[in-house]
Structure 1
Amino acid sequence: MDINKKLQQFLVANNESEILEYKEAKEQFDSNKLGKYFSALSNEANLMGKSDAWLILGVKDDKSVVGTNFRTDAKHLHNLKAEIANHTTNRITFKEIYETEYEGRRVVLFQIPSAPLGLPIAWKGHYYGRDSSELQPLNLEELERIRTQNTNFDWSIQICEDSTIDDLSSEAIDKARELYTIKNPKLADEIKAWDDTTFLNKAKITIKGKITNTAILLLGKSESEYLLSPAVAQISWILKDKDNIAKDYEHFTCPFILNVEKVYEKIRNLKYRYMRASSLFPDEVDSYDPYIIREALNNCIAHQDYTMGGKINVVEFEDRKLVFSNKGSFIPENINNVISLDAPEPKYRNKFLAQAMVSLNLIDTIGSGIKKMFIIQKNKFFPLPEYELSNESVKVTIEGKVLDVKYASKLASMPSLTLEEIILLDKVQKGKQITSEEASFLKRKKLIEGKRPNLHISSDIAQITNQRDNYIKLRGIDDTYCQNIILEYLGKFKSGTRADFEKILLDKLPDVLDENQKKNKVKNNLQALRKSGKIEPDRRMWHLSKR
């Protein structure tokens, strides 16, 4: 690029615009302000359909060139690329930083890339835009306009320029051919006769012999990953202990079709032995059903938002728990939509990739994969999968152990309960919050008792599931019993502080209450006894009433 010619074009143009900003900056320019302008100009370039925007130092608003001494050391100047990347979305930074002289005065030009489709750029977590020449927070309408741009964009179908079939692993192609034959047994002889190019086209991995992002992701050699940049083709397996401290890790890249199995092999799928309560229980089972591991991992691959530049994580905890996470929002919006609808999702983030994975029998598009995961866990009497959804990631936690054998086995075997009801009861049993609508639904069916957030399984269900003791524990000792303990203490020891009563009562209160709620319950019972005239305070001490 002839940067002097480019500068001349800017100077003869009408004025500043949303994608062109002049700053005098004779000596210095605040780096935080520079970051805000980076965010604003990048977002505005996206909204205007431009490939880039420019910030120019050493030029006044009236376009008179005054020169700048900002970071005259070249290395110090170009360090700005890393400094900006450290605080922007997905570490996006300047395309280039140019220095030039114009009429004997130094001018610095920053070439700023347009925000990618569907990905507004933030500086230190805040999104900026421009109102004419004014730096402003990006308004909500513009923010949503950028975020919804990629609903019809399929990263996975894009042609990977300058790549050839030589960038693919022959071992991975052979594995793909094997899986495709299993999926299409009637075509076995034809598949065997196809050359690699024909096979890849037929399996919808390439397009007319051209290598797609999908082809590199699933079948690419490990050294071919760079062809997907700035996207990242990486799965990280991390082993952590019960204190969340990492003990081991390994990173896996292309080809995913082979390395998914290597990730699976890293997971310690230990045998789990039940406390055998009846002939219903097997002596032992795998902590994790193989289908669940592969389904969760392949879902991460199929639905990852590769434009965000993140990696897929599989975190294994030593206390029998797996956490899978990938970048990108959950397109069905909530897990209930998937569980209740036995049909394919009408839209996919990576449609071409998903179709290729279906053709290779890696995933199922009939919408039953996640539901099957729930049913497998239910039938093993294990806690159900837990999904944590946000705009930027999806996280699913799989427990590899029983939460409560008696409760889970009986509850799961009750024929009158639907999977949706069991999912909600599973949340209540774990102490997870449910919505007021969900709570009302369960109460109408007499499945739970209590008030949000202190819900517990109802006595009817507890009776059916042999959980009478657990029901009493969850419900907690009643106020009368609590007050009798206080009165008995004061009768014996004459006086006591609230802290004394907390020591006696806190461990007797229901587990669904947190520590503050338990302390409030003690406080409320003391006040109830005072109002009834049974006890009275003396500063911080409580005594039996003399009346």
Structure 2
Amino acid sequence: MKEGLKFDKKSLKTVQGKAAGFDELAKDCVAFANTEGGHLAIGIEDADELPAPNQIIPKGLMELTIKRIGERTINVATNGTIVEAPNGGEYIDLEVFKSQSSVAGTTKGGYYYRDNDESKPLPPDELLRAITDKPSFSWETKVSTKYKTTQCDEKKLSAFIEEIRNSDRVSDFVKSKTVEEILEYFSLADEDSFMTHLGILWLGTQPQRSRLLYAPTVQYIKYDGSGNKVLKQVWDDNSMNPEELLEDIWRSVPDWRESNEISDGLWRKEIPAYDEKVVREVLCNAIAHRPYTTRGDIFINMYPDKMVVVNPGRLPFGVTPKNILQKTVKRNQELSRILYALHIMEGEGTGYDLMYETQLSLGKSIPILFEGDDFVSVTVERKIVSKEASRVFEHLQYFFPQIAQNQKALITFGIVFQEEIISSVDLAQKLQLPEADRLRSYVEPLISQNIILSRGRGKGTRYYVNPAIISDSKANIQTTLKAIEPYRLKELIKQDLKYHKLSLVSDISQRLPDVPFKDLQKMVRKMASEGELIPNGGRKFRRYRLP
């Protein structure tokens, strides 16, 4: 198993002998507890998949390990099991439970969190955030008002049970449970049939929901081109559960019904001003991931050129605008589970992927996520950046069905298409990958079928759409010099310098605005080093001419 957010391997030497590293092991346990919990396989080396053949865990070692971790940590709960691997070797499977309501730390005052396959120190500002954020993770399952499930809204209960039993995302085992068992399974009620906070939010009556500390309130405000408010609607009577609220908001905003028609000859397509999948996902995220222990309304601010959804509170601990595509932390896990089971939201880690794919396939900009001191906003642009993108995507999905099923590849293609040509470093940054080396799984399916092409090596690799794809799709795309071949760029520079002797690179760039400046600068320097151009002056104001 690969090391990652919830799994790590440790040598048996970590817990044996004088060189035992219990302090380091404690740091890893704290990191797991502060993130999503996880498992430590003690007795498997980093480079191996299995323990050494016939490796035996000494009697009492597992218990000693758990004891030593307990002595070195605070708010960390663990459980150990000795596992026999297929090769006969044994190792300790140490499970670290997620700390639900408090921040875990070491007895030496260290705080850590898990970032992919690493345990990292928690910065002071993030520590404060983790402390304030923890209570919101346990809000759903608490029982603070003694309402029995028999006191809930019967229509909402009947609708919920019917939807669960008809959902293809719910197992037959769960569907076969009694009503009381289903409610307990989805944390809507406790073992004594008292409704939890989540139960009241979903099944409660209007007065019951009003008694929740911070039931969701949504405000829709429309602005004109001068920034003046022209329309306002508020959902604040607490009569609807999250599903009903989302549906009512979707039906009530007329801007989401608007569209633009793009055409070329016989080809026509309606492009929605705001795609339904994107709108629903943004709104669903606002309701599913907001902290229900924090006061504040959800705002849908509609401008002539964009929609901005503002949510109270910050992103869940560990998630930032720069890793939202690659990292998922659910603040309200049980609510998210219900929304997924009822097909209201996408699965873990796929919501923003869906929004990226949809926006790019319509020729629009990707959503912009911003985190303030006490709020998170998502901006969705109305403007169509490339009118031909839809036509190219339709061609791609029809003639390359395997790519059509590969969301990573579609997002990558959309970014490359909009950028025309992009370096591996810049592409990795837009895909929020920590390293350009991890690009392979994103670009390989496209390169293997000649959908995108590349030039250069290593970090200097650049990607661009195969011109044949553009040609075959019949897309009427304006020709630019962004992806010009090096030998043609060389001739273009020579032609420019025939008429403009002794020019700075910046001067040439102004006359060839479509050519990326870095590409132009690199080619000019190469031509000078090979004697095809003569440089004059110092490095800062160096001018070039033909021999």
TM-score by length of 2: 0.52
Among candidates 243, 246, 256, match of residue 260 of structure 1 = 246
**1:159 is aligned to 2:158:** no
In structure 2, do the counterparts of structure 1 residues 120 and 198 end up closer, same or farther at CA, with 3 Å as the change threshold?
Answer: closer
Measured in 2, the distance between the counterparts of 1:367 and 1:499 equals: 47
Q: Which residue of 1 aligns with 2:410?
A: 422
Letter of the 1:287 counterpart: A
Contact 1:240 1:247 in 2 (8 A): yes
Shift of 1:475: 0.1
Shift of 1:448: 3.0
* Cα displacement string for residues 429-449 of structure 1 (whole angstroms, at most 9, x for unaligned residues): 233723444355143443232
Gaps of 5+ in 1: 1-46, 51-115, 122-128, 186-195, 339-346
Among candidates 466, 490, 494, match of residue 500 of structure 2 = 490
Q: Which structure: larger Rg? A: 1
Among candidates 335, 346, 361, match of residue 353 of structure 1 = 335
Measured in 2, the distance between the counterparts of 1:277 and 1:184 equals: 46
In structure 2, do the counterparts of structure 1 residues 263 and 249 end up closer, same or farther at CA, with 3 Å as the change threshold?
Answer: same
Shift of 1:470: 5.2
Among candidates 397, 400, 412, match of residue 397 of structure 2 = 412
Q: Which residue of 1 aligns with 2:464?
A: 456
Q: Which residue of 1 aligns with 2:262?
A: 275
Contact 1:312 1:327 in 2 (8 A): no
Contact 2:262 2:271 in 1 (8 A): no
**1:433 is aligned to 2:427:** yes
SS at match of 1:275: strand
Shift of 1:118: 5.6
Shift of 1:428: 1.7
Q: Which residue of 1 aligns with 2:52?
A: none
In structure 2, do the counterparts of structure 1 residues 541 and 489 end up closer, same or farther at CA, with 3 Å as the change threshold?
Answer: farther
- Superposed, 1:182-201 pairs within 5 Å as none
Measured in 1, the distance between the counterparts of 2:180 and 2:112 equals: 48
Shift of 1:241: 7.8
Moved more, 412-421 or 309-318: 309-318
CA-atom RMSD in angstroms: 5.7
Shift of 1:364: 6.3
Letter of the 2:344 counterpart: I
In structure 2, do the counterparts of structure 1 residues 304 and 167 end up closer, same or farther at CA, with 3 Å as the change threshold?
Answer: farther
Gaps of 5+ in 2: 1-72, 77-98, 114-119, 167-178, 420-425, 429-435
Measured in 2, the distance between the counterparts of 1:120 and 1:354 equals: 23
In structure 2, do the counterparts of structure 1 residues 401 and 448 end up closer, same or farther at CA, with 3 Å as the change threshold?
Answer: farther
Q: Which residue of 2 aligns with 1:328?
A: 316
Shift of 1:418: 3.5
In structure 2, do the counterparts of structure 1 residues 178 and 401 end up closer, same or farther at CA, with 3 Å as the change threshold?
Answer: farther
In structure 2, do the counterparts of structure 1 residues 366 and 482 end up closer, same or farther at CA, with 3 Å as the change threshold?
Answer: closer
Q: Equivalent pairs: percent with the same residue?
A: 13
Letter of the 1:448 counterpart: L
Shift of 1:488: 2.2
Contact 1:219 1:256 in 2 (8 A): yes
SS at match of 1:474: coil
- Superposed, 1:2-21 pairs within 5 Å as none
Q: Which residue of 2 aligns with 1:301?
A: 287
Among candidates 196, 204, 221, match of residue 212 of structure 1 = 196
Q: Which residue of 1 aligns with 2:48?
A: none
Measured in 1, the distance between the counterparts of 2:263 and 2:476 equals: 20
In structure 2, do the counterparts of structure 1 residues 247 and 529 end up closer, same or farther at CA, with 3 Å as the change threshold?
Answer: farther
TM-score by length of 1: 0.52
Measured in 2, the distance between the counterparts of 1:245 and 1:217 equals: 34
Contact 2:144 2:197 in 1 (8 A): yes
Measured in 1, the distance between the counterparts of 2:194 and 2:397 equals: 50
Moved more, 393-402 or 425-434: 393-402
Measured in 1, the distance between the counterparts of 2:439 and 2:477 equals: 25
Measured in 2, the distance between the counterparts of 1:389 and 1:529 equals: 43
Measured in 2, the distance between the counterparts of 1:354 and 1:239 equals: 29
Contact 1:236 1:314 in 2 (8 A): yes
Letter of the 1:433 counterpart: L
In structure 2, do the counterparts of structure 1 residues 336 and 501 end up closer, same or farther at CA, with 3 Å as the change threshold?
Answer: closer
In structure 2, do the counterparts of structure 1 residues 428 and 312 end up closer, same or farther at CA, with 3 Å as the change threshold?
Answer: farther
* Cα displacement string for residues 141-178 of structure 1 (whole angstroms, at most 9, x for unaligned residues): 7849986997996431211336789998x7xx645655
Measured in 2, the distance between the counterparts of 1:459 and 1:483 equals: 23
